[in-house]
Amino acid sequence: MKHTIIFAGAGILMGLLTSLVGLPAMVEYSAWAGLYLLLMVLGLKLAVPTPVRTLGFASTLAGLLTGSTQVILMEHYRANNPWYASEFETSTAADLSTAFLVQGIIFGLACGLVVGLAVRWRQAKAQA
C-alpha cells in the first residue's frame, strides 16, 4: 500500500512540475524514467506479492493524478510549456482535458505493467 501512495504522490508532483514550471518533453520523460526506476527498486525492496497488478495500479493512479493536475492547472500549463503551442491553438479546452487524462492513464498503465513484469521477473530469478 505504501508504494501506491508514494507513486500517486509522485504523479501529483509531476503534474505540478509540468504545469507550474514546465518541462521539455525529454526532461519530462527522463523524470518519469527515474520515477519508474524508483518504483521498480521499491517493488523489489518491499517484495510486492503481485507486482504486475500492484505496480500497474499504482502507475495508472499516478498517470491519472498527473493528468488531473494538468487539467486543473491548464492555464499555467499553457503558459509554461510553449513548445506545445501548436496543440493549444488547434484544440479546445475540453479536447486538451481529455487528452491529458487519457494520455496519463494509458502511459501510466503501460509503464506500470512493464515495471511490474520486470519486478516479477527479478523476483522469480532471485528465488531460482
- Amino acid sitting at position 11: G
Within 10 angstroms of residue 110's Cβ, the number of other Cβ atoms is 14
- pLDDT (tens digit per residue) in 60-109: 999 999 999 999 999 898 888 888 777 778 888 899 899 999 999 999 99
Q: What is the pTM of this model?
A: 0.87
Can you point out the beta strands (E) in the chain? none
- pLDDT (tens digit per residue) in 20-39: 998 888 898 898 899 889 88
The closest alpha carbon to 119, from 47, 33, 63, 27, belongs to 47
Question: What are the grid coordinates assigned to 127, written together?
Answer: 528465488
DSSP one-letter string for 39-70: HHHHHHHTT-SSHHHHHHHHHHHHHHHHHHHH
